[in-house]
Amino acid sequence: MSIPPIPPPIASLGPRPFSFYPAILNIEHNEWLFRKATWSEILVYNVKSKEEVWIPRRFIGELSRIEDPVVIIGLVKELEYRGGAVLPYQRRVIEMPIAVGDTPRGSSPPRPEPAPVVGIRLESGPEARIGKLILGALMVGVVGVCGLVMVTREGTLRPRVNYTHKDSAFLDLSARDDYYSIVNRLGAPEQDHSVSKSGDLEFRSLWYPERCYYLILMGAERDNLRYIGAMDKDWKVVHSVQLPGGAGTASMLRELPKF
């Protein structure tokens, strides 16, 4: 007697629709229903296009419930629908032609022959000792200048952001907060932008210039968006939250283009 396959976590959704993140490429509508599962694949049904697609189990990630009726199923890789099957998406890299006389990237030019070693005889006496002192002082000065340049460059490349208590107000926010609760705490934002990503999901950014960060909300409907994290003025993640399903939003924020 054959043993039935273990049901995947999304089987618990029953007839409830869900969305994939990131959305499967080449399929416009990102709303699905679970049909059935085998040991290696899961069959899902697209609500709008009426297509049934088999997805390998190894590509299915965590299930996280953000807010009814939106349920998100994470994918461990970016997938695309091609030729009636779902495959990992491969970004094609176009190699530029090599100019005449140029060296291919990754290869190094031939090394020249080592210069002959010439012995240098140091003269002893007071003049030689004075020369050594001058040379030592010059080396110490050069090392000090190099150290100062490196410290300055390190500080330029990696600026430190010191948040005051006022600036870190986003630490008190959670996935339960919406636009109105945020405005009640922090006031109205100076800029408010919305964009649709990954099919039916909508993202909203609230810019607070005096605090130097964006607050990001996400959901299926504009009137029902929830807080998922904060980005600094350079669009780097400074805060993420834990979703009710147990998954975090940090990786989702890092992949979100600025808008």
pLDDT digits (tens, 9 = 90+) for 126-183: 666 677 778 777 787 777 777 666 655 544 444 344 444 457 888 889 999 999 999 9
How far apart are alpha carbons 201 and 34 in whole angstroms? 19
How far apart are alpha carbons 81 and 28 in whole angstroms? 10
- At 163 the pLDDT is 46
Distance of CA 230 to the CA centre of its chain: 13
Report the range of poorest mean pLDDT among 44-48, 133-137, 158-162, 190-194.
158-162
For residue range 82-110, what is the model confidence (pLDDT) as tens digits? Answer: 888 889 988 776 666 666 666 655 555 55
For the CA atoms of 205, 211, 212, 214, the dihedral, rounded to the nearest 10 degrees, stands at: -10
Q: What are phi and psi of 39, to 5 degrees?
A: -65, -30
Token pair listed for 54: 């088999």
Q: How long is the chain?
A: 259
Position 119, amino acid: G
> Considering the entire predicted model, what is its pTM?
0.41
Largest CA distance in the chain: 99
Share of residues in the chain with pLDDT > 90 (%): 34
Helix (H, G, I), strand (E, B) or coil at 13: helix
How far apart are alpha carbons 30 and 24 in whole angstroms? 8
Contact present, 19 and 65 (Cβ < 8 Å): no
Contact present, 216 and 227 (Cβ < 8 Å): yes
How far apart are alpha carbons 113 and 70 in whole angstroms? 68
- At 41 the pLDDT is 93
